[in-house]
Amino acid sequence: MNERRVPHSPGTRERLGLLAVLGPVLLVAMDGSVLFLAMPKVAEALSPTADQALWILDVYGFAVGSLLIAFGGIGDRYGRLKLLMTGAAVFGAGSAGAAFAPGPEALIVFRALMGVAGATLLPSALAVLGELFPDPRRRARAIGIFAATFAAGFAVGPVVGGQLLSRFWWGSVFLINLPVVLLFLVLAPILLREVRATRAGRVDVLSVLLSAAGILLTVHAVKHAAAGGGVTIPAATGVTGVVVLGWFVRRQLHLEHPLIDLRLFRDRVFTIAAVTGLLPLAAWSATAYLGGVYLQSVLDLPVLDAALVALPGAAVLTVTCVVTPALVARAGTRAALVTCHFLIAAGLLLLLPTGVSGGIGWYAASTVVTGVGYGISFSLVADTAVAAVPAERAGSAAAIAETANEIGNALGIALLGSLAALIFRLQGPGLAGTLDETLRIPGLAPVATGDARTAFVTGLHAVAVIASLLHGALGAFTLRRTPRTLPGPGRDAPGPRSPETV
């Protein structure tokens, strides 16, 4: 009798193993947002162009999102723990390189390397957790902690970055990763065991290349057009990107083991869950980045004060992630999905009263209201997606939900950030491509300074309105087109959510 209970009672190894796994997970999430408050300091030190500044911010998210599912299959073939440790070591090396990057080009390369490494960590960490906690209920709880840690990392990244920048140089936001990586590399071989899938499908290399190339070409076209780089090159690049993405979609529909199982999108609830994974991350990342610039370069707040202004929203978001499962158990999944989108839509509109001469209170209020909505979406998406599909496809559903989060984080900065850059270029004084570049021009006239700040705030408002309208539309669609009763989260805890299960 006692022997049968042993696997269901996690001891010191399991708890320490969970803590060890959460370290890299926290880093991957934080590095998706840690630069939001740091960019003015990075811009001051490295002088990137408007296009380079956006790539510094979002190349990390594109690398993670493009390779997340592929590395799930690679880990199953060669070993999850082995891939997890390799990824952690590369992540640490990329962090060290980024901290001492001599120019914007090098920083973009090292951020991309960190993104590639980050894509190895998330699916492997989930599979390792499945080995640590064989009991379904305890595994579900561990995965819940995993999801909350990931969401908290996104939320506190800008705050941590602001705290570091108030005391150290900009590279410190990357060097903070090294102690966590080193501790993980020491503890992982002791606390964790190797995990391999019994029936791993072959990773389709062409699909990986098509998805990454299609996304990058399309986004590059948008950024190039926003930066005023002419019409011919962005048009040709954009058309090529769309064609490549179309090829990718067609290939997925004919593969026995697709990189992304697009057939899952035939289910309306799953589709809503996937879009809920993407859209809130897009809105959050764009407004958090633009908000960091607004607080420091428009309102002239020191970086530490800017971090403190962002702290209430980060705290609300994190707490909401923790309490959402209990709230969903009472109110239902449908009500939670609708509520999260309407809260985000309302909170984004609170940015409209912000201006050149003031608006700190409005900005803080916006982060608090949207933080509740973001917290609900971050903690609900994966479980809703999994519950909407047959059990044998749970791994693919969870993998798509995680990928939607990462792609949403990158697309928010790439697309909405490009919109803000376009408005600045059209309405600003026309002296430089970004607000920070303009403010660093020697002998800048007060009128030009005011025009530059006004143009930036106009871009921030435009982003807020568009993101709010999208969330309002998705909330209304969810309200009208989903059943009153949806499958609840935590259905039989599908186990380690790895992308190979189709």
Question: What percentage of the chain has pLDDT greater than the value 90?
Answer: 23
**Other CB atoms within 10 A of residue 186 CB:** 11
Q: For residue 411, what are the contacts with CB-CB under 8 A and spacing of at least 6?
A: 58, 61, 219, 278, 282
* Position 137, amino acid: R
Higher pLDDT, 42 or 69: 42
Q: With 90 as the cut, is the pLDDT of residue 41 above it?
A: no
State the pLDDT at residue 486. Answer: 65
- Cα 406 to Cα 422: distance, rounded to the nearest angstrom: 24
Q: Where along the chain do its domains lie?
A: 10-194+255-481, 205-254
> Looking at domain 10-194+255-481, which of 1.20.1250.20, 3.40.630.30, 2.60.40.1180, 3.40.50.300 is its CATH number?
1.20.1250.20
CB 392 within 8 A of CB 168: no
Per-residue three-class SS string for 462-478: HHHHHHHHHHHHHHHHH
Q: With 50 as the cut, is the pLDDT of residue 353 above it?
A: yes
Residues in the chain: 502
Name the band, by pLDDT with cuts 50, 70 and 90, for residue 105: very high
Name the band, by pLDDT with cuts 50, 70 and 90, for residue 258: confident
Higher pLDDT, 386 or 27: 27
Higher pLDDT, 476 or 332: 476
Q: Which two tokens stand for residue 470?
A: 């999208």
Query: Averaged over 196-225, what is the pLDDT?
Result: 74
Instruction: Supply the pTM of this predicted model.
Output: 0.77
In the block, residue with structure tokens 């067609």: 250
The DSSP string of 215-257 is HHHHHHHHHHHHTT--SHHHHHHHHHHHHHHHHHHHHHHH-SS
- Dump pLDDT digits (tens) for 403-423: 787 778 777 877 888 899 889
- Dump pLDDT digits (tens) for 237-252: 889 999 999 999 999 8
Name the band, by pLDDT with cuts 50, 70 and 90, for residue 394: low
